[in-house]
Structure 1
Amino acid sequence: MRHLVALLILLAGAVNAGAQTAAPQPGQVLVSGTVPDEASKAAVLARLREVYGADMVVDQITVGQVATPANWNGYVQKLITPDLKSISRGQLKIDGSTVSIKGEVASEETRQKIAGNVTASLNPTYTVNNSLRVSAADQNVLDTTLANRIVEFESGKATLTPAGRAILDEMAAAMIKLKDRKVDIIGHTDSQGNKATNQNLSQARAEAVKTYLTSSGIKAELLSASGQGADRPVASNDSADGRARNRRIEFRMAQ
């Protein structure tokens, strides 16, 4: 009896290059490989359907003469969790006692959470290969939309100028495309004035941006606002141009 080659679960958007299986359609997962009996197959499919929905699971599992580690079915059940729905363009491969997981997640926090849960669900005889990565695509949407422009305010105030509002209209449209992703709004100032004043102004400007975006249709719970004062300059404060660049609003995908 040969050892289990692999149980391969392709997650939404995955591409299984060079294999005989097709990539799953949007929202679908595709599961292939060889298991020792019909009961094992039924258990895997039932768990996947519980997590993803009955219509979203494409079954290409075969039953054959293979050996599995002790309690293998139980460990597979522990690995198929709703955490997998946070992964796009990825796969979960269970090859005997070696578990490999890869794909894209929205944040470093999610990456660490999934990796930790996978390891915690297995006994020490299992080897875990974690190739999850944080997707830069959503951050790129924000960066490209802002395009190094400065969200302008009236001098010394947290009142947006018409040019500042125009940029935020574009940012709101970009955030709507990101669905329900959370965004941190971070206000910055130049070094002129005292530290407390700069801190308060940067916070007030970040809050003003949040208020404007909320009025433009972005859910308030998806936005956080914070001020960094003059602590994180991106240019020298010795010139007018540098100070203008430092008086900015930063948009970061929430971790």
Structure 2
Amino acid sequence: MKINTKMITALKLSSLCFALSLSSLSFARDIVVEGVVPNETSKQAILVKMRSVYNEDQIIDKIQVRPVAAPNGWSDSVTRVITPDLKKVSQGKLSVRGTQVDLSGKMLNQAEIQPFTSNFQSLVTAPYRFSSQLSVNQAEQAVIDNALKNRIIEFESGSAVLLPAGTQILDEMVVALNRVQGKNVKIIGHTDSQGNPDKNKMLSQQRADAVKQYLISKSIAATRLSTEGLGADKPVADNASPEGRKKNRRIEFEVL
């Protein structure tokens, strides 16, 4: 996740700014949290909320405590907008400057932007104001989606070993990735809901990593590829049926 480090270079002691990244640095999935808060209590409240959403080892704390004036309930308003939904946004940033809340970045699907924005808006109450600039990488994402064609990249049962049918699809994905040379791509692993959730998340990460390594072996630059394992957190079908579970056991490619 990437943060614009120029956001606070002109910050004055009389101003108040909190910002966090929504896309990883060097694909290490680091979340940089920076800005100025009025006291240590506000800082810790923000960090506690961040740790409830992201892994603690992802978070890089650059928050400064300074004697600045803050609107009533400022830290509560900041922590309210730090939700797991932010994981749907990449290449972006969330900033709170006084009573102004700004969100920008990329989302995977155009259809998700409006409901996401409306839900986020409901978290921002007066006197706070909210603006968003969310978009999708439509052309490049279409190239990748058309190559995948909603097919399932198959692995051996319960493992991260690719089956021949899976590598055949990935060989086609190599062609598509070479067509979007200027873009980085996140490989996202998903599972169905059967079994232990922690093991499912680990397996989904291992499968995403296996796809990455295969693509690297086909001369796709490692620096273009990142991975994430979401386990069963984002199903696309009903896990109650075998057909639904098969659809949920999938690999997705997100153009960043």
- TM-score band, normalised by the shorter chain? 0.5 to 0.7
The offset of 1:180, in angstroms, is 4.8
> Does residue 1:8 correspond to 2:19, yes or no?
yes
The offset of 1:27, in angstroms, is 1.7
- State TM-score, norm by structure 1: 0.53
Equivalent residues in 2 for 1:30-45, closer than 5 Å: 30-45=32-47
The offset of 1:54, in angstroms, is 0.9
* 2: CA distance, partners of 1:172 / 1:220: 21
- Equivalent residue for 1:104, pick from 86, 106, 113: 106
- State TM-score, norm by structure 2: 0.53
Equivalent residues in 2 for 1:159-178, closer than 5 Å: 169-170=168-169, 174=173, 178=187
SS for the counterpart of 2:96 is: strand
* Structure 2 match to 1:190: none
One-letter code of the match for 1:140? V
User: Per-residue displacement from partner, 1:71-90 (whole Å, max 9, x unpaired)?
Assistant: 11111111000011111111
Q: 1:145 to 1:38 in 2, by over 3 A?
A: closer
Q: Conserved in 2, the CA contact under 8 Å of 1:8 and 1:93?
A: yes
* 1: CA distance, partners of 2:14 / 2:100: 12
- Equivalent residue for 1:115, pick from 114, 117, 136: 117
SS for the counterpart of 2:85 is: helix
The offset of 1:123, in angstroms, is 1.4
SS for the counterpart of 1:122 is: coil
One-letter code of the match for 2:74? W
Unpaired runs of 5+ residues, structure 1, are 14-22, 147-165, 182-217, 224-252
Q: Conserved in 1, the CA contact under 8 Å of 2:14 and 2:68?
A: yes
One-letter code of the match for 2:130? V
The offset of 1:69, in angstroms, is 1.3
The offset of 1:67, in angstroms, is 1.2
Which stretch shows the higher mean deviation, 90-99 or 120-129?
A: 120-129
* 1: CA distance, partners of 2:48 / 2:79: 10
Q: Conserved in 2, the CA contact under 8 Å of 1:90 and 1:104?
A: yes
SS for the counterpart of 1:103 is: strand
The offset of 1:64, in angstroms, is 0.4
* Structure 2 match to 1:74: 76
* 2: CA distance, partners of 1:63 / 1:53: 23
* 2: CA distance, partners of 1:43 / 1:94: 15
SS for the counterpart of 1:7 is: strand
User: Per-residue displacement from partner, 1:89-122 (whole Å, max 9, x unpaired)?
Assistant: 1110000110110111111233223211221012
Q: 1:94 to 1:34 in 2, by over 3 A?
A: same
Greater CA radius of gyration, 1 or 2? Answer: 1
SS for the counterpart of 2:87 is: helix
- Equivalent residue for 1:89, pick from 88, 91, 108: 91
The offset of 1:2, in angstroms, is 5.1
* 2: CA distance, partners of 1:24 / 1:126: 33
* 2: CA distance, partners of 1:53 / 1:145: 30
One-letter code of the match for 1:6? C
One-letter code of the match for 2:98? G
> Does residue 1:141 correspond to 2:140, yes or no?
no
User: Per-residue displacement from partner, 1:31-87 (whole Å, max 9, x unpaired)?
Assistant: 111000000000101110110011111000000011111111111111000011111
The number of aligned residues is 158
Give me the CA root mean square deviation: 3.3
* 2: CA distance, partners of 1:122 / 1:4: 20
> Does residue 1:220 correspond to 2:247, yes or no?
yes
SS for the counterpart of 2:77 is: helix
Q: Conserved in 2, the CA contact under 8 Å of 1:142 and 1:171?
A: no
